[in-house]
Structure 1
């Protein structure tokens, strides 16, 4: 299976369980792995045989910048679901959602969740 990778998408959102996380925006960084057969796109050089990267980014932004959620797990799952709904050629979507300013009382370089959803048809 072929893969399109989009890494380092940065958004501002209000996700978290604590009241202070809902008051001021915080950064969320997304890495996407979109799995699909790209042989037709490579052979035809035609955008209609792949996924539009800009549209992928807009859909991801709508989720991350949209309704505040308690858990980044919920946000990542929602991104997966939205992309699978929008792009029929996708066999699976993997999302890594980073929350670099998570309210943790220890030094850390990153906190992230990674999940993959596979199309079942």
Structure 2
């Protein structure tokens, strides 16, 4: 078993409950960690024997492009899509952070983190 991480994927998106957030958008940071059996890839040195992190990045981009009111909803969609499309992944942990959220205070980010294991 091993972990593949994608750290600080920066994406401009349009999530939020406020109408303005859907029109103006803002910066988001996504962090992703997936667990999978990486033993074969460590010996064969072949892409087909591991989890392709280019595909993981693409899934994150696709799901972040679909507007949602809640970060929790976006995180759930990312998890579901990875578990659906990447058979080798056994566990997904994702955090989605809105940078400088419009919450009436000096807050660097608001972050939601969710994790799920594949059902056997």
Deviation at 1:43, TM superposition (A): 1.0
- Return the alpha-carbon distance in structure 2 between the equivalents of residues 72 and 104 of structure 1: 14
Deviation at 1:52, TM superposition (A): 1.1
Summarize the alignment of residues 34-53 of structure 1 with structure 2, pairs less than 5 Å apart.
34-53=34-53
Q: Which residue of structure 2 lines up, in the alignment, with residue 15 of structure 1?
A: 15
Q: Which residue of structure 1 lines up, in the alignment, with residue 28 of structure 2?
A: 28
Aligned residues: 120
CA RMSD of aligned residues (A): 0.9
Whether contact under 8 Å (2:101, 2:107) holds in the other structure is no
Deviation at 1:48, TM superposition (A): 0.6
Q: Which residue of structure 1 lines up, in the alignment, with residue 74 of structure 2?
A: 75
Deviation at 1:39, TM superposition (A): 0.4
- Return the alpha-carbon distance in structure 2 between the equivalents of residues 111 and 16 of structure 1: 12
Deviation string 1:36-90 (CA, Å, 9 cap, x unpaired) is 110010011111111111111111100001x211100000110011111110000
TM-score (norm 2): 0.96
Report which of the two has the higher share of strand.
2
Deviation at 1:25, TM superposition (A): 2.1
Q: Which residue of structure 2 lines up, in the alignment, with residue 91 of structure 1?
A: 90
Give SS of 1:7's match. strand
Which structure 1 segments of 5+ residues have no match?
A: none
Deviation at 1:110, TM superposition (A): 1.8
Give SS of 1:91's match. strand
Give SS of 2:109's match. coil
